[in-house]
Amino acid sequence: MNYKISHPTKVVECEINLPSSKSISNRLLIIQSLCKENFTIENLSDSDDTKYLQRAFLSQENTIDVEHAGTSFRFLTSYFSIQNGQEFILTGSDRMKERPIKELVSVLQKMGAKIEYLENEGFPPLKIIGTDLEGGKIEIDGDVSSQFITSILLIAPTLENGIELKILGELVSKPYVEMTLKLMKEFGIESDWTNNIITINHQNYIPKNYTVEADWSASSFWFEIASLSKRCNIRLNGLQQNSTQGDKKSIEIFNNLGVDSIFENGKLILTKNQTISPFQTYNLIENPDLYQPLRCTLFSKKIEANFSGIQTLKDKETDRVISLETELNKLNSIKIIDTHKDHRMAMSVAPLCLKFGKLQINDVEVVSKSYPDFWKDLKKSGFIISLLSD
């Protein structure tokens, strides 16, 4: 399905209920399944990633297909490894089969996991036979994926020997690991993170009812819209001011790109300021998901920038750096944007119509992966969206 999208006034005034955090939701679902007593999760994400994870827990089959849900795949790899005596085939979409999983699998195998590659070495699909993992002292590269680390941390308390996890090299997306440990602590799990070693002893998760906060990653597209608008008053609901989500960094980054933000009565309010910084250097090692909305904003404002810390983007739904440049280069000619099966691509390029006029965006359904109501919310804020035939 393809859309034509434009904004006639460039003045954006709206109040938006942001989607709940899929990062928090998916961690909670693993914790809930590992907990010996049930508890209630309120405001659970309705993203595809979370739905596939829920389906996996409810499935009576031994073949689990999570399609394009990378987080779900990684978390389930560790989770299935400790389901003693049970056998699973864990698979996904064609793109999922191109996304590396070897670093996580190798660490789990050293802990005693029974995992085989069914097609290409180092990539999905996997055959997993659950067993009792040893835990103990293990090492993992920090620059591959923080989700690999989170996947192991979540099961660590259930292991007889716990874990002493040594992170090698620079850690990407550190706030997501901090989020994991914070959530685990809220469910009774104590941990120690000294230098590059995380230690978790054998413990039991303690149940408690939990309400999921809104997604700061989703807010980044509204920061982009605010920056590119002529004038704005955007009120975002559901965000926590003291959130552990790393993409809260949007406040700081976009303050230098014309956006003021302030919390009032539980809402984050975005308005315009006159601050536009020239050439910038951005290290996104802790928040690589901000790359696309930030790059689109800078491109629109003709601001040059240097980026570092974005090495993991090549292994996402698409190579986000190369694919985004491909689409940005179209804006001075055909103005037909392909989303490359990437939800963040679709949501990052849509606001560009504020600067480049009417755009065609193809395969718009991809936003369901993290923000199913994105197009509805754009309509609320004055964007004109019309359906085109494929």
pLDDT at 262 over 60: yes
Per-residue pLDDT band at 332 (split at 50, 70, 90): confident
Is there a single domain that holds both residue 54 and residue 126? Answer: yes
Looking at the DSSP bridge assignments, the partners of residue 268 are 236, 263
Q: What is the pLDDT of residues 365-375, one digit of tens each?
A: 999 999 999 99
- Mean residue pLDDT of the chain comes to 96
Is there a single domain that holds both residue 181 and residue 299? Answer: no
Is there a single domain that holds both residue 137 and residue 258? Answer: no
Is there a single domain that holds both residue 249 and residue 147? Answer: no
In this structure, are residues 155 and 147 in contact, taking their beta carbons and an 8 Å threshold? no
Considering 194, 211, 228, which residue would you say is the last residue of a domain? 211
Which residue, 65, 60, 57, 59, is CA-closest to 33? 57
Domain that holds residue 369: 2-19+214-388
Which residue, 231, 238, 275, 237, is CA-closest to 253? 275
Question: E strands along the chain, which residues?
Answer: 2-6, 11-17, 41-42, 63-65, 87-91, 114-117, 126-129, 136-141, 163-168, 192-194, 197-200, 210-211, 231-237, 257-264, 267-276, 280-283, 305-308, 336-337, 359-361, 384-388
Q: What average pLDDT score do residues 242-260 get?
A: 96
Sheet holding 114-117, edge to edge: 63-65, 87-91, 126-129, 114-117
Is there a single domain that holds both residue 185 and residue 223? Answer: no
For 228, the token pair is 């590119």
* Residue 390 pLDDT: 52
Is there a single domain that holds both residue 187 and residue 251? Answer: no
Is there a single domain that holds both residue 15 and residue 78? Answer: no
In this structure, are residues 20 and 43 in contact, taking their beta carbons and an 8 Å threshold? yes
Is there a single domain that holds both residue 249 and residue 369? Answer: yes
* Residue 79 pLDDT: 98
Burial class (CB in 10 A: 0-12, 13-18, 19+), 278: exposed
**Count of domains forming the chain:** 2
Q: What average pLDDT score do residues 13-31 get?
A: 97
pLDDT at 288 over 90: yes
Is there a single domain that holds both residue 181 and residue 285? Answer: no
Q: What is the pLDDT of residues 69-83, one digit of tens each?
A: 999 999 999 999 999
Considering 211, 243, 269, which residue would you say is the last residue of a domain? 211
For 156, the token pair is 């660590």
Per-residue pLDDT band at 189 (split at 50, 70, 90): very high
How far is the C-alpha of 266 from the C-alpha of 237, rounded, in Å?
7
pLDDT at 389 over 80: no
Question: E strands along 118-243, which residues?
Answer: 126-129, 136-141, 163-168, 192-194, 197-200, 210-211, 231-237
Q: What is the pLDDT of residues 123-158, one digit of tens each?
A: 999 999 999 998 999 999 998 889 999 999 999 999
| Residue with the larger pLDDT of the pair 225 and 279 | 225
Looking at the DSSP bridge assignments, the partners of residue 63 are 89
Tokens 């989170």 belong to residue: 150
* Residue 69 pLDDT: 92
Considering 177, 211, 245, which residue would you say is the last residue of a domain? 211
As a 3-state breakdown, the chain gives helix, strand, coil percent values, each rounded to 5, of 40, 25, 35
Is there a single domain that holds both residue 154 and residue 223? Answer: no
Tokens 């405001």 belong to residue: 43
Looking at the DSSP bridge assignments, the partners of residue 199 are 164, 192
> Rounded to 5 degrees, what angle do the CA atoms 223, 218, 70 make?
140
Is there a single domain that holds both residue 42 and residue 158? Answer: yes
Q: What average pLDDT score do residues 167-173 get?
A: 93
pLDDT at 317 over 90: no
* CATH assignment at residue 344: 3.65.10.10
Q: What is the pLDDT of residues 223-244, one digit of tens each?
A: 999 999 999 999 999 999 999 9
Is there a single domain that holds both residue 26 and residue 135? Answer: yes
What percentage of the chain has pLDDT greater than the value 70? 99
- Give the active site residues: 289
